[in-house]
Amino acid sequence: MTETLRSSPATLHDVAREAGVSLATASRSLNGSTRKVNEDYRARVLAAAERLGYVANLSAQTIAKGTSSTLALLVSDIADPYFAAIAAGVLSGAEQAGLITTMGITQRSAERELDLVKTLRGQRPRVLILTGSRYVDAALDEALTRELQAFESTGGRVVMVSQRSLPFDTVQTDNYGGARELAESLVGQGYRSFAALTGVSSLMTARDRLAGFRDGLAAHGLSLPDERVVETEFTRAGGYDGAGRLVAGGLGDAELLFAVNDVMAVGAMSRLREEGVDVPSSLAVAGFDDISTARDVTPALSTVRLPLEQVGAAAIELALSGQRGDEPTLVTLGGEVVLRASTPARG
Amino acid sequence: MTETLRSSPATLHDVAREAGVSLATASRSLNGSTRKVNEDYRARVLAAAERLGYVANLSAQTIAKGTSSTLALLVSDIADPYFAAIAAGVLSGAEQAGLITTMGITQRSAERELDLVKTLRGQRPRVLILTGSRYVDAALDEALTRELQAFESTGGRVVMVSQRSLPFDTVQTDNYGGARELAESLVGQGYRSFAALTGVSSLMTARDRLAGFRDGLAAHGLSLPDERVVETEFTRAGGYDGAGRLVAGGLGDAELLFAVNDVMAVGAMSRLREEGVDVPSSLAVAGFDDISTARDVTPALSTVRLPLEQVGAAAIELALSGQRGDEPTLVTLGGEVVLRASTPARG
DNA sequence: CTGTTAGCGCATTCAT
DNA sequence: ATGAATGCGCTAACAG
List, for residues A53-83, the tens digit of each pLDDT value: 999 999 999 999 999 999 999 999 999 888 9
Residues with CB under 7 A from strand D: A 8-9, 11-13, 23-24, 27, 30-33, 54, 56-57, 60-61, 63-65; B 21-25, 28, 36-38, 40-41, 63-64, 66
- pLDDT for res B6: 52
β-strands B169-173, B336-338 pairing: unpaired
Q: What is the mean pLDDT of residues B190-212?
A: 92
For residue B28, which nucleotide's C1' is closest to its Cα?
C11
Q: Indicate if the pLDDT at residue B261 is higher than 50.
A: yes
- pLDDT for res A5: 52
**Burial (0-12, 13-18, 19+ Cβ within 10 Å), B84:** buried
Whether residues A88 and B103 touch (CB distance < 8 A) is answered with: no
pLDDT grade for B2, boundaries at 50, 70 and 90 = very low
Q: Which of A89, A176, A177 is nearest to A131 (CA)?
A: A89
Whether residues A84 and B91 touch (CB distance < 8 A) is answered with: no
In whole angstroms, what is the distance from residue A345 CA to residue B170 CA?
53
A182 within 8 A of A286, measured Cβ to Cβ: yes
Long-range contacts: B11-18, Cβ < 8 Å, 24+? B11/B54, B11/B57, B12/B54, B12/B56, B14/B52, B14/B54, B15/B45, B15/B48, B15/B49, B15/B52, B15/B54, B16/B45, B16/B48, B18/B48, B18/B51, B18/B52
Which range (A175-189, A204-218, B193-207, B320-334) has the least confidence?
A: B320-334
Q: What is the mean pLDDT of residues B25-45?
A: 85
Which range (A134-138, A224-228, B114-118, B144-148) has the least confidence?
A: A134-138
Which range (A166-175, B126-135, B330-339) has the least confidence?
A: B126-135
Q: Indicate if the pLDDT at residue A220 is higher than 70.
A: yes
Q: Indicate if the pLDDT at residue A164 is higher than 90.
A: no
How many residues in total does chain B contain? 347
Q: What is the mean pLDDT of residues B299-313?
A: 96
More confident residue, A162 or A230: A230
Q: Indicate if the pLDDT at residue A3 is higher than 50.
A: no
Q: Is the CB of B33 under 7 A from strand C?
A: yes
Of chain A, the end-to-end C-alpha distance in Å amounts to: 83
pLDDT grade for A135, boundaries at 50, 70 and 90 = confident
State percent of chain B over pLDDT 90.
82
Q: Indicate if the pLDDT at residue A2 is higher than 50.
A: no
- pLDDT for res A75: 96
Q: What is the mean pLDDT of residues B215-237?
A: 95
Nearest CA in chain B to A61: B59
In whole angstroms, what is the distance from residue A151 CA to residue A170 CA?
16
- pLDDT for res B80: 86
Judged by phi (left if over 0) then psi (alpha if -120 to 50, else beta), residue B276 lies in left
Q: Which of A214, A213, A217, A249 is nearest to A230 (CA)?
A: A249
Which range (A209-213, B157-161, B234-238) has the least confidence?
A: B234-238
- pLDDT for res A191: 98
**Cβ-Cβ contacts under 8 Å, A150 against chain B:** 3-4, 53
pLDDT digits (tens, 9 = 90+) for B276-302: 999 999 999 999 999 889 999 999 999
Residues in contact with A273: Cβ distance below 8 Å, sequence separation at least 6, in sequence order:
A279, B298
pLDDT grade for B3, boundaries at 50, 70 and 90 = very low
Q: What is the mean pLDDT of residues A243-251?
A: 95
In whole angstroms, what is the distance from residue A179 CA to residue A173 CA?
11
**Burial (0-12, 13-18, 19+ Cβ within 10 Å), B161:** buried
B 136-155 near A (Cβ less than 8 A): 146-147, 149-150, 153-155
- pLDDT for res A1: 40
B 204-233 near A (Cβ less than 8 A): none
Mean pLDDT score of chain A, rounded to an integer?
A: 92
Which range (A3-12, A288-297, A299-308, B247-256) has the least confidence?
A: A3-12
Nearest CA in chain B to A117: B55
Which range (B75-79, B116-120, B130-134) has the least confidence?
A: B130-134
- pLDDT for res B336: 97
Which range (A85-94, A207-216, B132-141, B154-163) has the least confidence?
A: B132-141
